[in-house]
Structures are given as C-alpha cells and as structure tokens.
Amino acid sequence: MSIHRRHALFLVVVAGAVALRVYYQLTYPHAFFFSDSLDYISAAADNEPYRIRPYGYSFLIKPFVGHPYAWLALAQHVVGVAVLVLGYVFLCRRGVRPWLAALALLPWALDARVVTVEHYVLAESAFVAATAGGLMLLAWRDRLGWPAAALGGALLAFAAVTRTVGLPVLALVTIYLLVRRPGLVRLAAFALPVAAILGGYLFWYHQTWGPYAFGEYQGRFLYARVMPIADCDRLELTAEQRKLCMPEAPASWDQRPDQWLWSLASPARRLYPTVEGDPVLAEFAYTVIRQRPAAYLGMVAEQTSWHLRMRAPVTDIGHCLTLQWVPPAEPGGVCQPRYYLPANSPKDNPPPAFVVDNADARVLHAYGRFVVIPGPLYAIAAVLALVAAVWRPRRRSWRPAADALLFTGAGLGLIAGSVATSLFDYRYAVPAVLLVPLGLALSVTRIAAASSTHAESEIPCPPAVPISPATTSKSPSSSPA
C-alpha cells in the first residue's frame, strides 16, 4: 500500500483543518479580544512578570506587540495545525492504526471552540502546544532518551509558567516517569530544566515584586471559587472574615464565580482591591473548604460533569460566557467575541468593537453550534483508559496503557483543575480536546492488541522505505510496545 493511501484519511483531516482556519482568518480580519488579553499584552510591553497571571504567554507574543494582532491569530492557527500533524505522527509511532489516529485528531482539527480560541489573544493555544509537545516527547519511545526527557521537562515547565494549571500536570508526569523507571540520569535530565524554569521564574518574580510566587491572585481566585458554597451562617469565621460574606449575591453568580473577583459589588473588590489582600482571601477560602469539604468536592464534581454532557446546564450570564467560544455571527454583539482593534498604546483597551453584517460569519456561527467535541466522549475515554490498564496485563506490554492513562488523565485533570480553582468554562477544556482523544486512541490500541490471538502484529504506520533484496530474508521486526 502506498504511503498516500495509507495516510489518506489523515490527509483529508489536515486539509479540512487548514481550510477551516483559512476561512476563519478571512472571515474575521481581526483577532478577538477578551478581558484577559490586555493583561497579557501589557505584561509583554512592560517586560516584567504580571501579578495576576504568569508571564509565559506574554514572553511568546512580544514580537507581536504594537502590530495588528491578526498576525498573532494567524500564528496560533499555524501552531494548531502543527500540533495536529505532530499528534498524528506520535500516534503512528506508538502503534496506532492510521485510520484510528486520523479519527483521534478529528476533534482538534475541526472543533469550532478550538479554532475560536486560537483566534483570541489568549494563552490557551500556547499552553496546549507546550503541554502536548512535552507529553509526546516523554512517551515517544519505549526507552526514554535523556535529550527527550530534558526537552519534555522544559516544555512542561514552560507550560506551567504559561498557565499555572499546568503545575499538576508536572506532578502527574513525575508519577508516570517513576512508574516507567527510566533511570536516574533520565529522571535528572527531566527534573533539571523543570527546576531551572520554575525556580528561575520564582526568583525573577521575587526580584520584581518581593514574594516568591507565580502570581498574587491565587487566593482571590480561590475565594471566588468557594463563595457559592460559603454559607456564612453555618461557618465559624472571624469578624474580619465575616465581612467577606455576601448573602445577597445574585443567584447567577453561582455559575459565574468570577463575578466575585471583578464586580464592584464584591466584598473582596471593596475591602481588598490590591494584591496585598490576597493572603486574607486565601485564608477565607481555605476556611470554607476545611469546614465544608463535602460541599466543595460536590460542587467541583458536579461542574466537572458538565463537561461530560452534550450541553452544559448553564443559564443567564453562564450561557453568555459559553457563547464567547463559538464563532460570532456579529463580532462585538451581545455575548459574542469582539475584535482586538488597534489602540493608541499596547496597554490601552481597544476601541469599542463595531458590529459587522457578514454572511460568512453567520455560516461559521451555525457551524459552531454543532461541530464541537461531544462531552460524553470524555467519559468514554476515561472508562477505556481504565479498561486498557487492567485488560490482560500479561498479554501485552503495559506501556501503551500507561501512555493512555497519561494523556487521558492530563486532559481530564486539566478540566477538573480549572473547575476546582476557577469556574466552569469551555475555554479551559480546550487542552482536553487534543489530549483525551490521543489517550482514547492509545487505549483502543492497547485493548485490541491484548485481545489479539497473534503473538505479533504488523507495524501500523511503517516508514515508507523500500526493502532491498538483500534484506528480504531477514526476520520481521517485532511490533512496538
């Protein structure tokens, strides 16, 4: 079979991904603006760590500051296609059939939320690329080499200083490597760049602002997260902590706890408007969690499960947030992405976005209502990863099962981590659109291989290298683990 026929399905998938992104770029000639976007641009312009969010993304976008951000959106679309190709090559390398590998990458190629987030000035695209790249490097070969371990550690550490939700991924990867037992040299090769990047960032932040931290809003974010369960009448609080209660908060804030961060009506905003109040807000949050652990875990479990449904049960301003991540019918309209138009200074808010009547935008908006990853796929992937781990463990190597658990666990863990520390938001599930299907393909491959009655199987994605007559008498190579 020729290489073109073997990979024909993936060629169709990647062609669709490119066509969708080209159409998107032509339909929306400006990048999209979200409230976080200005923070990232301002930090890049100031050349110093930002006190609310880490600096990794700001470092990457420095060449784009002061220029039309449509170029940044284009670069992020290109990165999205590059990650797509890398994911396919990785799955083939790990023994996945070409057709299954292509299907696994289909959500990332065509998901409307993924392409919309790529068009924003936001950190998600860079975070996904660094995280996925690091995980794939570490799982690329049966025997981990020290260069791959070092580069994988560097990418994952950079992802963590792009979005701090990447820190738990580092913990998961450390467990994965300990289970693989690659040897002290390779463990050190992984750990050294992680320690250098994280430690260097903490020291830089200390030199700039004083504390050793990745930011000084973590307590404020956690305060907002626990407020929906903070029944102050039943909590043991100090007099100062009780001032942070808000029994008259709008019911809609339960689905948008970020309102406790930014609304002028929030006690935190009124009483502790600066980063110096972060420890006070953090202690309040820890007090609520200690006294109501079941309520906190129940809230996290419930809202994490929303990602596993076809449609999340959000209403009012919660539904308004979900509309930010689908192609807008009229950019700048109510609950729709607005354009990042040129401003007088990179640190200024862009002018108010204008509403444009665009037939192509209406087409993409209709596309975005239906072409998104179905939430139940996440649940199926989780079940199959567990099945792969226990299905006939002596029949085949455990490595594919470990890889499946790594990717599936990283994707679902990022969803749960974002819910636990921030809020339910489809934007934070974008990494899972790539990582979970990768884990699903690895799980299916492991289960199928262990179920086979053959001792060996053919290599699913063999290199297209002609075999010379001199080599035809040699025995075939064994299948990869």
129: left (phi over 0), alpha (psi -120 to 50) or beta: alpha
pLDDT per residue over 125-162, tens digit each?
999 999 999 999 999 998 999 999 999 999 999 999 99
Across 225-244, average pLDDT: 94
pLDDT, greater one: 401 or 80: 80
At residue 475, the pLDDT reads 38
Assign 4 a pLDDT band (cuts: 50, 70, 90): confident
Alpha helices (runs of H) in 369-463, residue ranges in sequence order? 376-390, 399-421, 430-451
pLDDT per residue over 350-360, tens digit each?
988 777 778 99
Mean pLDDT of the chain: 91
Axis crossing angle, helix 399-421 with helix 293-306, rounded to the nearest 10: 110
Q: Which of 121, 125, 220, 111 is nearest to 163 (CA)?
A: 125
At residue 337, the pLDDT reads 93
